[in-house]
Structure 1
Amino acid sequence: MKTRFFLLILLTSFTVMSQDFSENWTAHYSYNRVSDMTSGNDRVYVASENAVFIYNTLDESIETRTTVNGLSGNVISAIYYSEGFDTLFIGYENGVIDVVVGNSTDVLTVVDIFNKPAIPPDRKRINHFEEYNGFVYISSSFGISLFELSQLEFDDSYFIGNGGGLLDIGSVAIQEPYIYAASIDGGVRRALVANDNIIDFNNWETIRTGSYQEIVSFNNDLYLQEDNQILISQDGVDYSIFESYPETVIDIRPNEDFLSVTYNATVLLYDENQNLAQTYGAIEGFTTRYTTTLTLQGEIFVGTLGSGVARFSSSNISDVIRLLPNGPLENEHFDVAASAGNVWSVFGDFDVSYNPFPLKTQGISKFTEGEGWSSINPGDLFGATNFVHVAVNSLDPTQLFASSFNGGLVEVLDATPSILYDENNSTLSPVATTTDDVRVNGGAYDAEGNFWVTNARSPLGLHKVSPAGQFSSFNTEEILAGSDANLDALAIGLDGVVFFGTDTRGVIAYNPANNEFARLAGEDGAANLPIDDIRSLAIDRNGALWIGTRLGLRVLFGPSQIFENSQISANAIIFLEDGLAQELLNDQVITDIIVDGANNKWLATADSGVFYVSPNGQETIFHFTTDNSPLPSNTVQSVAIDPETGSVYFGTVRGMVSFDGTSTAPADNLENVLIYPNPVRPGFNGNVRIEGLTARTNVKITDLVGNLVYEENTTGGSIEWDTTAFGRHKVASGVYLLLITGPPEEMQETTIEKVMIIR
């Protein structure tokens, strides 16, 4: 009784209801990498890395479930659908379990295992679900837990290791009167499933020693996966080697009429008499890294690591259909860039010391409003790999440059790779100890359409590409005190001065007008940088340079003064919290800084999500994390803003989501002011959006007799009105006038627009 009491206290049921964020957020996940599948009620549920898609076999439609719909967003390790209770279980590597009943938009997030400090973090993984007699048995890396389906709540947990210790349970199988548990570190154990006290480890007996990854029941026989490559069968009495495979078995699974065995590029189906009924090998157009197999109503579903799900008839493998929701190539976004209606993403990488190896060979993905995602395949990029930066030409959005931190610089025209610039056809040069390791990183376009880019660990660290494709190089050895510095972000000031970050030498400035370099550095000196390791840069709409370092944030006002004043200092952002002065993002790794149309800043961090702050940084407008938003990870590596819609795209290490922002870039004049919705019809509860505004525009909204109901001075190109009279109450039905006036110094351009409100 003491043991039972202790374990019940340890795992007292605790669940939370996750929020649906679909009103203001959009998911942009990759579903290429399938980890598990389950089926029931004419649907196939597919778990990708950290999202789920559901294939309806009747109408062949596909529905997705992501963090935007309330899922946890962690790495999925198991999935199970209870047909009798119409309930989906999604288990994660960190021990969290999401439960979705029917078509409900609500997600019940079970955090009992995740929250328990008595279970080490590396022993919380959910490995398998098995349903029996109204309960789901949850196999995990510490033991077995029960979830009661009718009440949707946790029940007991079984610690069945020696002395009641932890045991890594790969899966369980139930053949009355026993429940069997296969463990990686404790053999195969069993207990009487009807025993009310099998929570007591003394009621479990070890029936086979060794290491077993999985156990399944098929046609009244048990099958054990032993030492990765051996399948053991048990007919109720005797154990024997069923088959020894040439490679590690990834998945064994009982299906309708077959037992499936999956490894790499092979699927084997065994019938009820243990005969090999079918063998499927490589599937044309799909990666040969298979993960799991389902058979359903005469069709085969094969999950892959990189190509989604292959669906084909059991009798005709040549007629293959790919099941894959639209999305980018993968979920680990390293850099993101946007132009009007388009978003680009690259998936390369380097570590904190700028080591790019092992190289990543993924291509480039593009999102287009109204069309979705498309991609440039790695094979079309002239052999370049490990793309770490992408920049779109604002003067000609059909052109962009993608930086490879190993292979050079690729120009893309009209979404088609045009040319690779490297040591053979440009001024770019490789790392001194190599002949072809050309590490190109941060880049930006200037006002004339020239593209400036950094070239790490090279004496020629800065390069310019003219609109005609002509290269110019600039020797940085002296300013960098050598040629082995790693170079990162690059930004261009309003006066054309080029700034770029380094890992040990602070911020470097270059003035093209007089070919002069200058440097802002020194953690303890006048420069006032927290560290000379610079990870992100941005110029705001007032010309200030925002500097993201590996230990915090600084702002340099009038940054071109760096050429005239060697003692110029950057400034920390200080704000008051509970009456105490605090430094904004102190000690944080600032991975990206983006300035929106209202001069507000998005500040991405390596482990604290993303901050949205006011123009001077004194006010935090939003702080999005995995706890209060659909961000799949607090490691946000890049942010991009669509200047037309104001949507903000967050590239994280576990996927991309976008937030419906409200601030677009200011227009040049007031000729194209747009108001929507117009008219505002009954039942509409959102905001009226006014776009096409110039910077520092005054907007007054009045009724037809001149009563003022709203006024705002803009900094960006758009505002939103909540259709209230200064926030007090909703205005009545009628026509309202918008008196829009530009700033006096710009000839005070004016226009009058109308919006109709229908209550």
Structure 2
Amino acid sequence: MKNVFLHSIVLLITFFGYSQEKQMWEGYFSYNTIKDISQSSTHLYAAAENAYFKKNSATNEVSKTTTIEGLSGENISQVYHSEAFKKTLIGHENGLLIVVNDTDGTMLNVVDIVNKPSVPQNKKRINHFMEHNGKVYIATDFGICVYDLAISEFGDTYFIGAGGANVEILQTTLFNGFIYAVASGYGLLKASVTNPNLIDYNQWTMVYAANWGSVQAVGTELIAIGFGAAMFKFVGDTPQYVTTFSQIPTDVRYSEGRLIITTQDFVHIYNGQLVKILQINNITGITAKLTCATMMGDTIYIGTQENGLFSTTLSNPTVFVDNTPNGPVKNKIFAIQSASNILWTVYGDYSRNYNPYPLDSYAISKMDADKNWKLFPYSDLLNAKSLTRIAVNPANQKQVYFSSYYSGLLKFDNDAAAKLYNRSNSTLQTIPNLAQDDIRVNGSAFDKNGNLWVTNSLVATGLHVLRSNEQWQSFALSGVQEPLTNSYGRIVIDKNSTKWIATNHEGVVGFNENHNNRSLSIKEGQDEGNLPDNDVRSIAVDNKNKLWIGTTHGLRVLPSVDSFLTNNELNSNAIIILEDGLAQELLYQQFITDIVVDGSDNKWIGTAGSGVFFISSDGQKTFNIFTKENSPLPSNVITDIEINSQTGEVFIATESGMVSYKGTSTKGAENLENIIAFPNPVRPEFNGSVAITGLMNKCNVKITDIEGNLVYEEISAGGTVMWDTKVFGKSKVASGVYMIFVSSEDGLLSKVKKVMIVR
């Protein structure tokens, strides 16, 4: 039923796809992991995990290309720029090839390798590109594929292992009219580049059978490096020893007349006679693992595994410049939290079974109102590991609390770690009978009195509160039958000060200290609460005081949180919708990771494999299902969702990066004093919608031309209305000034704004 439901919904909704207006989306990707680099005469191209950027060497201008522009979100393995054809090739670990036409920015997704039926799915990785006479020889995990740049089509594939078998090709190079190829664990092979029958493995000659890792033509020399880290040059087909490196190279290339060999800790640069002219031992100020290096003129560019892209010069190799575009520390963001126009992100995590091991020692990232990112390194976090949740003090947004699923609760004050709460200075408890102090704090939420409530897993008292006067108090949850085996997820607090807590074995537990520490559970089973599963991962209270509950196997709704105060039993309901005249359960069997309520009481629901569902306030209408297949989402595995209540921007964190959707999810204002229409003016190159923000809920918005002819009308649901600059969704309006008339629901307040359209 699950797949049938999803398929039918997808057919009914309007897909956004890559033809949608890019202005609705924005990407927030990390560029700290550099997979590969390439260059033209004017630009340096650097590929990160699933995005790339290019830097103009003359102006230092940097432009980024992500899923917003049409990339797939898959893991990148290689990048290559063909200056002759003005095309950039992006190779992926799954064999996907994306060809970017740098002239007009168009992208071609080439799936020939991905769809090769004779090759196992885990053996399609693209390992290297080598261009010759308009063709690119692509080294893959199964052989060599030939791609014609002129016609943008694949040609032959060379299977050159023993007897024509698949063999992992790590690198190719062209030398003296021969293609040389390193076959992992097999040897170094060669064949004439002019041979029209290279598809026949018999045309390939074994030069030297050994466990080589790379091969590269260096002017009049041919070198190869084995997995033993020894470098040889070939005299004929005979290898002669040159030197041995202290580490196995991660990248070998020839650029600007020099051989550049990168290892984890060093960059070795040789001239055409294989004489070492420079060795870079470290990058000043950081401890980095190096992945690749190249040269443009006198400049040396160095990619790192976690610190981005740096440059130095051959003439002054002790001074380094950080070329990494602004962004979060990592793509795999576990939790996000907004406050005004600031967004906090953390990267610590735990498994599906709430296991934080191996422990994470990651930084914290903060994005300001200008979309600039600030890093708080782990070394400044008081040794707090595996940070999983964020709570911003609504009364003082300079105070931010980070839940650690190992170390307790970390307090930030004025952008600095101020205190780590653990068993020595709070009521938080360590897991019994462990040698080390393991304090698993997860869900956190402020109540209306400024008290911070947090959960503490696998201990006797699972709920703790840090009062606004800095005093701690703990509570045992009577609704939890086996507290020492129970892990807690998110926590929300309703208008009655009831704390609703997600658990992995006991469903949802409600607790209210103002009603004699009353505690009730909503569990699996008709008589226990009607949940589809006791493993609850997300909870939210909407604007109508309904409790939305997301489990690992579906969705339920408690009709009113008030029932906690009067009833001894709580029962949730499935949302039933009609599909083709048949009753279906909304989000049947879906693993729900997050539920967020927007300013219009609509719901944004994240899943662990099906993307994001954007549904109406009652769940009866699905506005959209955003997936990596029909939107810029880089992954269908959603880790967290957060909405900026002021701007309506919906931030969606996935396991492969974060994007945002700029919708209409703003709360209604209290008056009409801050109405804004943007962009204004609307210029010819703009193809998006005009946003009219600062509205009260249920405002009447009328738009007319200068002569008073009505072109659009809508009742606001929340604080924003979007106008597509068309006459009631049909033809685009002409250039001119358009009047925006806004009136409150009761007609007592009104406002008039203007917007100029330039076609």
TM value normalised by structure 2: 0.92
Indicate conservation of the 8 Å contact 2:212/2:227, yes or no.
yes
Instruction: Please name the residue that 2:601 is paired with.
Output: 599
Instruction: Please name the residue that 1:497 is paired with.
Output: 498
Amino acid at match of 1:740: S
Map of 1:210-289 to 2, 5 A cutoff?
210-289=210-289
Indicate conservation of the 8 Å contact 1:518/1:563, yes or no.
no
Question: 1:474 offset after TM fit, Å?
Answer: 0.9
Indicate conservation of the 8 Å contact 1:20/1:105, yes or no.
no
Counterpart-to-counterpart distance in 2, 1:199 and 1:60: 44
Instruction: Please name the residue that 1:542 is paired with.
Output: 544
Map of 1:658-737 to 2, 5 A cutoff?
658-677=660-679, 686-700=688-702, 710-724=712-726, 726-728=728-730, 736=739
Instruction: Please name the residue that 1:608 is paired with.
Output: 610
Counterpart-to-counterpart distance in 1, 2:478 and 2:567: 22
- 1:637-674 Cα offsets, whole Å, 9 max, x none, are 01111111111111111111111112201223334333
Question: 1:21 offset after TM fit, Å?
Answer: 5.9
Task: State the secondary structure of the residue aligned to 1:490.
Answer: strand
Counterpart-to-counterpart distance in 2, 1:480 and 1:103: 65
Task: State the secondary structure of the residue aligned to 1:261.
Answer: strand
Map of 1:19-34 to 2, 5 A cutoff?
22-34=22-34
Amino acid at match of 2:637: T
Task: State the secondary structure of the residue aligned to 2:278.
Answer: strand
CA RMSD of aligned residues (A): 2.4
TM-aligned CA distance change 1:416 to 1:506, over 3 Å: same
Question: 1:102 offset after TM fit, Å?
Answer: 2.4
Question: 1:729 offset after TM fit, Å?
Answer: 5.3
Map of 1:202-601 to 2, 5 A cutoff?
202-434=202-434, 435-476=436-477, 479-514=480-515, 515-523=517-525, 525-562=527-564, 564-601=566-603
Amino acid at match of 1:184: S
Question: 1:679 offset after TM fit, Å?
Answer: 6.4
Instruction: Please name the residue that 2:106 is paired with.
Output: 106
- 1:665-690 Cα offsets, whole Å, 9 max, x none, are 12233343334456667786543433
Amino acid at match of 2:618: N
Amino acid at match of 1:344: W
Instruction: Please name the residue that 2:6 is paired with.
Output: none
Instruction: Please name the residue that 1:6 is paired with.
Output: none
TM-aligned CA distance change 1:55 to 1:483, over 3 Å: same
Counterpart-to-counterpart distance in 2, 1:48 and 1:256: 23
Counterpart-to-counterpart distance in 1, 2:479 and 2:618: 34
Task: State the secondary structure of the residue aligned to 1:173.
Answer: strand
Instruction: Please name the residue that 1:53 is paired with.
Output: 53
Counterpart-to-counterpart distance in 1, 2:587 and 2:646: 29
Question: 1:757 offset after TM fit, Å?
Answer: 5.3
Task: Decide which moves more: 679-688 or 581-590.
Answer: 679-688
Question: 1:51 offset after TM fit, Å?
Answer: 1.1
Indicate conservation of the 8 Å contact 2:703/2:738, yes or no.
no
Counterpart-to-counterpart distance in 2, 1:736 and 1:296: 54
Counterpart-to-counterpart distance in 2, 1:705 and 1:149: 55
Amino acid at match of 1:398: K
Amino acid at match of 1:736: M
Indicate conservation of the 8 Å contact 1:670/1:749, yes or no.
no
Any stretches of 5+ residues in structure 2 without a counterpart?
Answer: 1-16
Question: 1:469 offset after TM fit, Å?
Answer: 2.6
- 1:15-72 Cα offsets, whole Å, 9 max, x none, are xx97586322111111111111111122111111111111211112211111111122
TM-aligned CA distance change 1:179 to 1:727, over 3 Å: closer
Task: Decide which moves more: 477-486 or 189-198.
Answer: 477-486
Question: 1:608 offset after TM fit, Å?
Answer: 1.2
Counterpart-to-counterpart distance in 1, 2:82 and 2:193: 20
Question: 1:563 offset after TM fit, Å?
Answer: 5.1
Indicate conservation of the 8 Å contact 1:253/1:261, yes or no.
yes
Indicate conservation of the 8 Å contact 1:681/1:758, yes or no.
yes
Counterpart-to-counterpart distance in 1, 2:733 and 2:65: 38
Question: 1:217 offset after TM fit, Å?
Answer: 1.3
Counterpart-to-counterpart distance in 2, 1:358 and 1:568: 38
Instruction: Please name the residue that 2:631 is paired with.
Output: 629
Question: 1:606 offset after TM fit, Å?
Answer: 1.1
TM-aligned CA distance change 1:757 to 1:216, over 3 Å: closer
Instruction: Please name the residue that 1:10 is paired with.
Output: none
- 1:679-728 Cα offsets, whole Å, 9 max, x none, are 66778654343322333444455679987654433331222234555445
Task: Decide which moves more: 684-693 or 185-194.
Answer: 684-693
TM-aligned CA distance change 1:259 to 1:428, over 3 Å: same
Instruction: Please name the residue that 2:619 is paired with.
Output: 617
Map of 1:82-121 to 2, 5 A cutoff?
82-121=82-121
Amino acid at match of 2:453: W
Counterpart-to-counterpart distance in 2, 1:276 and 1:703: 72
TM-aligned CA distance change 1:677 to 1:271, over 3 Å: closer
Amino acid at match of 1:252: V
TM-aligned CA distance change 1:708 to 1:262, over 3 Å: closer
Counterpart-to-counterpart distance in 2, 1:681 and 1:149: 36
TM-aligned CA distance change 1:425 to 1:148, over 3 Å: same
Question: 1:480 offset after TM fit, Å?
Answer: 3.6
Task: State the secondary structure of the residue aligned to 1:112.
Answer: coil
Task: Decide which moves more: 46-55 or 684-693.
Answer: 684-693
Task: State the secondary structure of the residue aligned to 2:320.
Answer: strand
Instruction: Please name the residue that 1:4 is paired with.
Output: none
Counterpart-to-counterpart distance in 2, 1:579 and 1:242: 76
Question: 1:261 offset after TM fit, Å?
Answer: 1.7
Structure 1 residue 78 corresponds to structure 2 residue 78: yes
Task: State the secondary structure of the residue aligned to 2:468.
Answer: coil
Aligned length: 739
Task: State the secondary structure of the residue aligned to 2:114.
Answer: helix
Question: 1:430 offset after TM fit, Å?
Answer: 1.3
TM-aligned CA distance change 1:178 to 1:448, over 3 Å: same
Counterpart-to-counterpart distance in 2, 1:684 and 1:271: 51
Amino acid at match of 1:751: S
- 1:195-248 Cα offsets, whole Å, 9 max, x none, are 111112222233332332222111232222322523232122321333222222
Counterpart-to-counterpart distance in 2, 1:46 and 1:421: 41
Instruction: Please name the residue that 2:131 is paired with.
Output: 131
- 1:108-131 Cα offsets, whole Å, 9 max, x none, are 111111123332111010000001
Q: Percent same amino acid at aligned positions?
A: 38
TM-aligned CA distance change 1:449 to 1:144, over 3 Å: same
Counterpart-to-counterpart distance in 2, 1:563 and 1:278: 74
Structure 1 residue 755 corresponds to structure 2 residue 754: yes
Indicate conservation of the 8 Å contact 1:18/1:106, yes or no.
no
Question: 1:309 offset after TM fit, Å?
Answer: 1.8
Amino acid at match of 2:499: V
- The structure showing larger relative contact order (alpha-carbon pairs under 8 Å, at least 6 residues apart) is 2
Task: Decide which moves more: 552-561 or 391-400.
Answer: 391-400
Question: 1:278 offset after TM fit, Å?
Answer: 1.6
TM-aligned CA distance change 1:680 to 1:29, over 3 Å: closer
Counterpart-to-counterpart distance in 2, 1:159 and 1:683: 48
Counterpart-to-counterpart distance in 1, 2:464 and 2:180: 65
Structure 1 residue 740 corresponds to structure 2 residue 743: yes
Counterpart-to-counterpart distance in 2, 1:219 and 1:68: 41
TM-aligned CA distance change 1:742 to 1:453, over 3 Å: farther
TM-aligned CA distance change 1:711 to 1:471, over 3 Å: farther
